[in-house]
Amino acid sequence: MPRPDLGPKPTLGYTASILARFAERRTDEAYLAACAADARCGTFAIGGELVVMRKTANGPDPLFGMNEARALAPVAETVFLGLAGEAGRFGVALDPEATKALKGREDLFVIDLRSIAVQGLAPQQLAPLAEAKALLQWHARHRFCANCGAPTKVAQAGWKRECPSCKVEHFPRTDPVVIMLAIDGDNCLLGRAGRFAANMWSCLAGFVEPGESIEEAARRETLEEAGIVCSEVKYFRSQPWPFPMSLMIGCHARATNSSITVDREELEDARWFTRDETALMFTGRHPEGISIPPPMAIAHHIIRAWVEEGDGVFS
Ligand SMILES: [Zn+2]
């Protein structure tokens, strides 16, 4: 099959951050205070799943002055994200209920981060928002020491929590998830979970378990969810996925059998699609109206790479 023309490659959501994280400044309180007070400083305001943005003539702007952000709603946590050039970037965790109430304000957009990514926001804003969301969500869920149960304290501008009781240090975690496209010659395996939008099919995915390599996790998940045994697994690319704090690890996997057994606990359905047929999903011309995830999601890119390159994804 000739390489189909799917147009210019879209940007993968939440990637290509312009921030330099400057980890060495996280303990420099005088620097951080000066940075937050600087007029160029920008602060992202997030309450639970919701991001607060200002309405401007040029569209939604997610950056507030530090005091402005803090005045939106009660603040649970403030974290230092890094520098955009010379300008500091911070994130504040607003009280989730008070953030919902901000939806009534005419001057603000209050919307979840998935929708923002689907609707489009410049990568220089979207990637730091993902960093802020994942880090603040970690704080919200890790207020107590996992070792002794005592309340923990924030340190290093939000990049650590310390237990005053047993002295154990806790660091922000990222949960690895494998997301893979199993390929059998001219066919790829897509699945549908009940929570998906109607007619949307995607790659299979699942958390990497302790003691597993990425390749082993990709093989296990494909076997568990669809009964397909895979041999070679080739890493493609990855994507931060701040819901709440995952890292999606995209792969292509070579299937060695074709008879599907769907795990109905995990999936509504799974089936093979030819490369020609899959190409039609990118242009909205699939005869059954089947679509794939939007360009902001790594699944879109994993599937697209195979439609464009075929077996070349393994080279
Ligand atoms: Zn402790």
pLDDT in tens, 168-204: 999 999 999 999 999 999 999 999 999 999 999 999 9
pLDDT digit string, tens, across residues 124-135: 899 999 999 999
Residue 187's Cβ-count burial label (10 Å; 0-12, 13-18, 19+) is middle
CA separation, residue 182 to residues 40, 186, 202, 258 (Å):
47, 11, 11, 10
Q: State the average pLDDT over residues 88-107.
A: 97
Residue 56, pLDDT above cutoff 90: yes
- Ligand 1 centroid–CA 144 distance in Å is 8
Q: What does the angle CA 34 – CA 58 – CA 84 come to, to the nearest 5 degrees? A: 30
What pLDDT does 113 receive?
94
Residue 2, pLDDT above cutoff 80: no
What pLDDT does 4 receive?
83
Q: How confident is the model at residue 286 (pLDDT cuts 50, 70, 90)?
A: very high
- Ligand 1 centroid–CA 146 distance in Å is 7
- Ligand 1 centroid–CA 162 distance in Å is 8
- Ligand 1 centroid–CA 151 distance in Å is 8
